[in-house]
Amino acid sequence: MDERVNIVVDAFRETVKATDVRIFFAIILFFLVVGLVLFYIDKIKEFISQRYMKKLFFMYAEDAGLTKEEAEILWKYSNKIKRDPFLVLEFKAPFERTIDLYIRENPNFDERMIRRMRKKLGFDKVPSFVPIVSTKDIDIYQTGNLISEHKRIYPVALYEKDELYMYWWIIDKKPPFDFHKGSKVRIRFIRKDDAIYSFEGTIEDIYEEGGKYIVKIPHTFKLEVINRREEFRLRENLPVLIETENKEGEKVKIGTETTDISIEGIGFCIPILDARDKKLGIQSRVNMLLRIDEREIKTTAIIKNVRESGHNLCFGAKFEEISKEDKEFIKQFINTKQKEMIKKYRGKYIK
């Protein structure tokens, strides 16, 4: 009797075990199916969203005067470098990065088409108060100095430029030079109302044209900059509320912090996605509410420069309407902070 009971019990246990295993695998299969469904739903949503955004982008590009071919280039290569395509239409820095990749991947590119694109988007000239982002932005006939590896200095001027190279005329100098094809040299120049720029490059060629000796150097984005601002800029994070308009002309407010401040203006950054549909281009006018300690300062300002920094767009804004009292308060605030910085640096109190 006991033996038969044991057989029944063992059989029951085996049945339960088999059932547990089937339930376990059924649960796993269920979650796998749910996961795949959610994954493909997200992919479908992303596909639909991407198609809508592309259609919207082409509408914006057409309004800017671009052809379908030109718009396709900007859409394709801005996505390749993970830049917001809409910002490529509005700001020079992401545009130049996008075009740079296009050129590198298409050796037989149409240079005239690229120049037309720049002109249509207003990127063919860079105002003196806007920082340059690559050597392509240097004005023709900009003067400067070429410094050889042996530290010898030659006065130069930008004679010509294309999408791949810049051509520097060595002013009033003839061979022999202490550099040659393949030499590394540094070009340094002062851009009026902006900064001192310098960059390094390897000489691609040296040739003579009409009695002028020309040095051919590839373009670069690697520029070193020394600012020449008259007013000291304090790096300080202060709460600021920016009021501007969106593309539909509606008032919008953006809360952020300053990156720096002077008695002439402030710098601030906002996420690229937040900036995309806002009127924050060069020369745009914005209202500001700046808080320093317990004081609120209301002012209007003009956007003077824009640059990309990671996932943010950073702006330099110059105060346009600000009271004498508020300006004096900012001046005293900066002076106090300067003294604190000096005190911290020297390790003693300075009156």
The residues spanned by each domain of the chain are 1-124, 135-227, 239-345
Backbone angles phi, psi at 209, to 5 degrees: -145, 110
Q: Between 301 and 338, whose confidence is greater?
A: 301
Class of domain 135-227: mainly beta
Say whether 239-345 and 135-227 share the same fold.
no
Q: What is the mean pLDDT of the chain?
A: 85
Q: Which helix (H) or strand (E) element contains residue 111?
A: helix 111-121
At residue 126 the predicted structure's pLDDT band, cuts being 50, 70 and 90, is: confident
Q: Which letter, b or e, does each residue of 36-46 get, where b requires 16 or more Cβ atoms within 10 Å of its Cβ?
A: eeeeeeeeeee
H-assigned helices in 222-314: 272-275
Q: Between 231 and 152, whose confidence is greater?
A: 152
- Fold adopted by 239-345: Thrombin, subunit H (2.40.10)
Measured from the Cβ of residue 341, the count of other Cβ atoms closer than 10 Å reads: 12
Q: Determine the residue type at 306.
A: V
At residue 350 the predicted structure's pLDDT band, cuts being 50, 70 and 90, is: very low
pLDDT of residue 141 exceeding 80, the answer is yes
Measured from the Cβ of residue 194, the count of other Cβ atoms closer than 10 Å reads: 19
The pLDDT assigned to 99 comes to 96
- What's the rounded mean pLDDT across residues 162-171? 96
- What's the rounded mean pLDDT across residues 336-344? 73
pLDDT, tens digit (0-9, with 9 covering 90-100), for 57-95: 999 999 999 999 999 999 999 999 988 999 899 888 899
pLDDT, tens digit (0-9, with 9 covering 90-100), for 239-261: 999 999 988 888 999 999 999 99
At residue 348 the predicted structure's pLDDT band, cuts being 50, 70 and 90, is: very low
Q: How many residues in the chain?
A: 351
CB-based contact 107:124 (threshold 8 Å): no
CB burial of residue 145 (10 Å; 0-12, 13-18, 19+): middle
Residues 6+ apart with CB under 8 A from 72: none
Question: Token pair of 104, please?
Answer: 């590198």
User: Cα(173)–Cα(170) distance, rounded to whole angstroms?
Assistant: 6
The pLDDT assigned to 351 comes to 37
pLDDT, tens digit (0-9, with 9 covering 90-100), for 31-64: 676 666 666 555 554 545 568 889 999 999 999 9
Closest CA to 121 of 86, 163, 161: 86
